[in-house]
Chain A
Amino acid sequence: EAGVAQSPRYKIIEKRQSVAFWCNPISGHATLYWYQQILGQGPKLLIQFQNNGVVDDSQLPKDRFSAERLKGVDSTLKIQPAKLEDSAVYLCASSLQRGGQDTQYFGPGTRLTVL
């Protein structure tokens, strides 16, 4: 079974630029999550999709972050414009069903550096 795929693996941009990350979840998984993991911290949920609908985006900085999950499969997360404090690893995860208690499978992450 293929795992969660993410690209790119690394990205370096200057502040005020825009950047986009892509995620392909495990086939058949209805729920997709985007997390931000700042160095030395645990992952923080940014947004959760159930199929192609948003379930929880309460911690997403909506003035600069946006995400979509077209057709309930792949997802993209965009930052525009980026700030220095956005430097982090962006993790995508998926689970079979909705619910924090459902096992989440994580991708390798995209490491973003904002200069």
Chain B
Amino acid sequence: QKEVEQDPGPLSVPEGAIVSLNCTYSNSAFQYFMWYRQYSRKGPELLMYTYSSGNKEDGRFTAQVDKSSKYISLFIRDSQPSDSATYLCAMTDTSGSRLTFGEGTQLTVNP
């Protein structure tokens, strides 16, 4: 079983839709949770960063962490064609060990 599971998609939505991206994990030691966005032929860039449980909002993006269910989500409101990319969840524990990434979900927002 993989430590981090992410639905690879692809996901195609119309402009303006609300998008929900999700990851589940098995390692209860994970405390830091990130979402990276990766455009085609580019490196990943950090989008959201959350420590432990709770919600974090940044503009149209909201990250949620439910440690009791080992489940994290990224919501995108009023999605735009410029949001079309692959979204990668990543997580790590407090020891400074390596980031563990999900497989990524490919999102296309159609104008």
Quick one: CB contact mask for A15-51 with B, threshold 8 Å, 1 for yes? 0000000000000000000000000111111001000
In the complex, chain B residues whose CB is within 8 Å of the CB of A43: 44, 88, 101
* Size bracket of the B interface: 20 to 34
Cβ-based interface call for A4 (8 A): yes
Find out whether the CB atom of B41 lies under 8 angstroms from the CB atom of A108.
Answer: yes
Find out whether the CB atom of B97 lies under 8 angstroms from the CB atom of A56.
Answer: yes
Find out whether the CB atom of B8 lies under 8 angstroms from the CB atom of A40.
Answer: yes
In the complex, chain A residues whose CB is within 8 Å of the CB of B92: 99-101
In the complex, chain A residues whose CB is within 8 Å of the CB of B31: 101
Give the CA-CA distance A8 to B18 in the complex, in Å. 38
Find out whether the CB atom of B97 lies under 8 angstroms from the CB atom of A106.
Answer: no
Find out whether the CB atom of B101 lies under 8 angstroms from the CB atom of A42.
Answer: yes
Give the CA-CA distance A27 to B102 in the complex, in Å. 29
* Size bracket of the A interface: 20 to 34
Cβ-based interface call for B60 (8 A): no
Of the candidates A42, A93, A104, A111, which one forms a contact with B102 in the assembled complex, judged by CB atoms under 8 Å apart? A42
Quick one: CB contact mask for B2-29 with A, threshold 8 Å, 1 for yes? 0010101000000000000000000000
Quick one: CB contact mask for A86-115 with B, threshold 8 Å, 1 for yes? 000001010000111101111111010000
Find out whether the CB atom of B32 lies under 8 angstroms from the CB atom of A101.
Answer: yes
Shortest A113–chain B CB gap in Å is 14
Give the CA-CA distance A100 to B46 in the complex, in Å. 13
Find out whether the CB atom of B43 lies under 8 angstroms from the CB atom of A106.
Answer: yes
In the complex, chain A residues whose CB is within 8 Å of the CB of B41: 108-109, 111
Find out whether the CB atom of A45 lies under 8 angstroms from the CB atom of B43.
Answer: no
Of the candidates B96, B97, B99, B103, which one forms a contact with A41 in the assembled complex, judged by CB atoms under 8 Å apart? B103
Find out whether the CB atom of B43 lies under 8 angstroms from the CB atom of A4.
Answer: yes
Interface residues of A (CB under 8 A from B): 4, 40-45, 48, 56, 59, 91, 93, 98-101, 103-109, 111
Nearest first, the 7 closest Cβ-Cβ pairs linking A and B are A42-B101, A106-B43, A100-B92, A99-B96, A101-B32, A45-B98, A100-B99
**Can you offer 11 A-B residue contacts whose CB atoms are under 8 A?**
A42-B102, A43-B88, A44-B101, A45-B99, A59-B98, A98-B96, A101-B94, A104-B99, A106-B43, A108-B42, A108-B43
